[in-house]
Structure 1
Amino acid sequence: MSTTSPAATSDPATAPTEDAPVLYEVVSGVATLTLHRPHRRNAFTRAMLAAWADAIRRAASDPEVTVLLITGAGKGFCAGVDLEEFGSVTETLERRAFLADDVHEVARALEHFEKPYIAAINGDAIGAGMDMALMADIRLIADTARLSQGYVRVGLVPGDGGAHMLPRIVGEQRALELMWTGRFVGGAEAVELGIALELYPAEDLLPAARELAQQLAAGPPIAVRTIKRLTRIARTQSLEAHLVHAAAEQAVIQSTRDSAEAVTAFREKRTPVFEGR
């Protein structure tokens, strides 16, 4: 069954119409966010960025949503900033504000998003578009898609977290090579480098991503979110601090209905049904 939240219906920036820069739909616990400017390869404008961040926050607060899936309409995933809009930003402080107040709003929304966030990279992801793809917890990619840290080709530097995220994924040496050259990485190489988890024919990508999303949505939601939280915080923790934190989280998890249901279902050899409490 497909549902759209009341907020999405009333908000023209996110309502599922042909003119919306972002589409948002919830089906069986999975929210699908589709970047919807196919005529511009989903290059983002201020309106798209605002709708994108709003959709992330909506998914975060909706108890019916357990997984968020993002993809692009048409042949592109995200071509980065729409130069037609950005070209009108000429003052130095205005350019900084455009990044800090508009572009980075998506990254900030995701920093506090504890549910699984899956990217189905259906087409080219370039510059900030690649940075946006790197923000996903899991990335699946089409065999026709290409990735590029293309900033250097126009004399710029990664402005949306690429220099922070990419070295953690591929290592500093490879990340520098990709950022310094701005070369294109095809889907197969993206998987080889660990940028994407799996490669699919273009027509199979979204069904595969939805199948993975549904698998995660069927899991115990509190444990799933806690695993993501533990993984993120481990980046800045010593092992000793992490073990203390993990023990505290585990003690709480074991007192939840989800944990009790999982144990009972295991003993009864049936599929568990989780309430998320």
Structure 2
Amino acid sequence: MKPDAYTSIEWSYRGRVLHLTMNRPHRLNAVDAGLHTELAQVFVDAAADPGCDVIVLTGAGRAFCAGGDLDWQQRAIDDPASFDRTVVEARRIIFSLLDCEKPIIAKVNGPAVGLGCTPALFCDVIFAAEDARIADPHVGVGMVVGDGGAVIVSGSGP
């Protein structure tokens, strides 16, 4: 995809630094189908972009990313066939973050929850606002950290 084809992620440059902003502030940048698809592609496109050397990922408004959009999740429950596409995209999000040879910085400007904490934690460096929090609600209900985050989140002992 070309930068102007993205509808949920805004591309902007400051010199050779590419700023990727998840741009759904009215939903605290919660991931819907469109943003999920774009996250699965954006780091591949940014890695191939000759106009940047560094990538910064952030969220518009007061949140980095509030996780999965509940309306999108309900539609996924109603249409189980969509789960296959979501799993493929989730894997691409993680692998494209890991495969990107350019440094990726998470600028965590507010809550990074669930599906929002995963890309933040897979970035090379995290800069977080003092009031930012990184959390995964899966753990609170006895589930494994979701969206591929289980491989990077480690618990601490007592």
Same fold (TM over 0.5): yes
Q: CA RMSD in A?
A: 2.3
1:42 alignment counterpart:
29
Which of 9, 12, 21 matches 2:8?
Answer: 21
Alignment of 1:1-277 (within 5 A): 7-9=2-4, 11=5, 14=6, 20-90=7-77, 94=81, 96-154=83-141, 156-167=143-154, 172-174=155-157
**Which has more helix, going by share of residues?**
1
Pair 72,146 (structure 1): closer, same or farther in 2 beyond 3 Å: same
- Counterpart CA distance in 1 for 2:96 and 2:150 is 19
The structure whose Rg is larger is: 1
What TM-score do the two structures reach when normalised by structure 2?
0.88
Report the alpha carbon displacement of residue 157 of structure 1 after superposing the two structures with TM. 2.5
1:261 alignment counterpart:
none
Report the alpha carbon displacement of residue 123 of structure 1 after superposing the two structures with TM. 0.4
How many residues of Structure 1 are paired with residues of Structure 2 in the alignment? Answer: 158
1:62-95 deviations in whole A, cap 9, x for unaligned?
2221100001101110111111011122279637
Point out which structure has higher relative CO (alpha carbons under 8 A, 6+ apart). Answer: 2
- Counterpart CA distance in 1 for 2:67 and 2:59 is 12
SS of match in other structure, 2:117 = helix
- Counterpart CA distance in 2 for 1:155 and 1:112 is 31
Pair 107,150 (structure 1): closer, same or farther in 2 beyond 3 Å: same
Report the alpha carbon displacement of residue 96 of structure 1 after superposing the two structures with TM. 4.5
